[in-house]
Amino acid sequence: MDKPRIAVYKFSSCAGCQLQFINFESELLDMLGQIHISYFKEATSLVEDPPYDIGFIEGSVTCPHEEKKIKQAREDCKVLVAMGACACEGCINTLKNYRPIEEQVKRVYEHPEYIDTFDKAYGIDHFVDVDAYIHGCPVDRDELREFVVATLMAKKPFLRPHAVCVECKLNENECLLLRENGLCLGSVTRGGCGAVCPSWGRPCFGCRGPNVDANPEALVEIFRKKGYPDDEIRRRFQYFSGETPAFRKGAEACV
């Protein structure tokens, strides 16, 4: 069988997710034994024409020309994968979604008149059908490997639908929510990251979006009991994944 032709696209993003491919380092040769890179600008200037078998999309869609580009990518790729928080949930690009756009453009750019941008930033599934999601900011390398390998083997990848708390307990992390009254979103955020932030003593920011049966209203109650003002809780829910239905519920539960 021919090796599947892979494309890796960049939209509004920091390029950290695609870097995870390159970070496979010692495994790169084995990986390249299984896939053919057709389009991956961060890795190679050689570009082959579409169609591609699998397109990995990094980045959110924030402006009209990106909308055109994502629709083209959808046409060019048999399987389209949202890779990382920007492509999945919009990530920190969605911070602009909660304030008037004119105000923000003025604040950032010297010549706002050159800026042609949407009022809001979106994950790519706002514009196109997406076949699979790999969450995280950036994506976790083990999960990326699991996804690529499982896809090549026509197998359902093991990507945890559970809360980050599971991996926190497996790692024996001390609970930041309980022990430090931290504003930790781990209990409503999809794990699979190995609880990387809490393992380094940082509360979960929810970059991976909600876990499958997240209960954000319950967490809002817990934060309130710990004395957090609603405004701060809402901002935490809106930090990385505010446009997901579950985190929106969390934000809306705050007055």
Partner 1 sequence: MRNLYVPTKAVIEKIKTQTHDTKTFTIKPANGEKFDFEPGQFNMVSLLGYGEAPISISSSPDNKKTFDHTIRFVGSLTNTMEKHKEGSIVGIRGPYGSSWPVEEAKGKNVIFVAGGIGLAPLRPFIMQMFHDRDSYGKIQILYGARGTGEMLFTDEFNEWKKHSDTELHLTVDKLEEGEKWDHTVGVVTVLYDVAKLDPANTIAVICGPEIMMRFACRSLLKKGFYAPQIYLSLERRMKCGVGKCGHCQLGSKFVCKDGPVFRYDEAKEFHDTLL
Partner 2 sequence: MEREAVILKKSKVNDWVNVMREDHTVYGPVKYKYDYHFKELEPGMEVTLEYTRSMIPPKKFLHPQEENLITYRRNDGMETTPTKFEQKQVILGVHPCDARAIEVYDEIFGGDLPDVYYWNRRNNTIIIAVTCTVPDENCFCMSLDESGPTLEKKGYDLLLTDIGDSYLVEVGSMEGSLLLQFEGLFEKATEEHMHAKDKSVEVTKMKVQRKIPDVPGLHDFLEHNYENEVWAKETKKCLSCGTCTLVCPTCFCYHVEDFNRFNLEDGNRVRIWDSCQLIDFAEVAMGENFRKDREARLKWRIYHKLAYWQEQFGTLGCTGCGRCIQYCPADIDMTEILAEIRGDKVHA
- 169 lies in the binding site for partner 2 (CB under 8 A): yes
Judged by CB under 8 A, does residue 212 bind partner 1? no
Quote the CA–CA distance of 211 and 191 in Å, as a whole number.
Answer: 7
How far apart are CB 156 and partner 1 at their closest, in Å? 5
Q: Does 70 bind partner 2 (CB under 8 A)?
A: no
Q: Please tell me whether residue 252 binds partner 2 under the rule CB under 8 A.
A: no
218 scored as a contact of partner 2 (CB under 8 A): yes
Residues numbered 98-157 forming contacts with partner 2, rule: CB under 8 A: 145-146, 148-150, 152-153, 155
Six-digit token string for 5:
């032709």
- In this structure, how many other beta carbons lie within 10 angstroms of the beta carbon of residue 194? 18
Q: Is the peptide bond before 210 cis (omega within 30 degrees of 0)?
A: no
Q: Which is nearer to partner 2, 46 or 212 (CB)?
A: 212
The reply on whether position 25 binds partner 2 by CB under 8 A is: no
Q: State the nearest-atom distance from the C-beta of 171 to partner 2, in Å.
A: 8
Please choose which of partner 1, partner 2, none residue 156 contacts, taking the beta carbon within 5 to 8 angstroms, the exact cut-off set by kind. Answer: partner 1
Q: Is 30 in the site for partner 2 (CB under 8 A)?
A: yes
Q: Which of residues 131-160 bind partner 1 (CB under 8 A)?
A: 150, 153-156
Q: Which of 177, 195, 204, 220 binds partner 2 (CB under 8 A)?
A: 177
Nearer to partner 2, 130 or 188 (CB): 188
Binding residues vs partner 2 (CB under 8 A)? 24, 27, 30-31, 33-34, 145-146, 148-150, 152-153, 155, 158, 161-163, 165-166, 169-170, 172, 174-175, 177-179, 186-188, 211-215, 217-219, 221-222
Binding residues vs partner 1 (CB under 8 A)? 150, 153-156
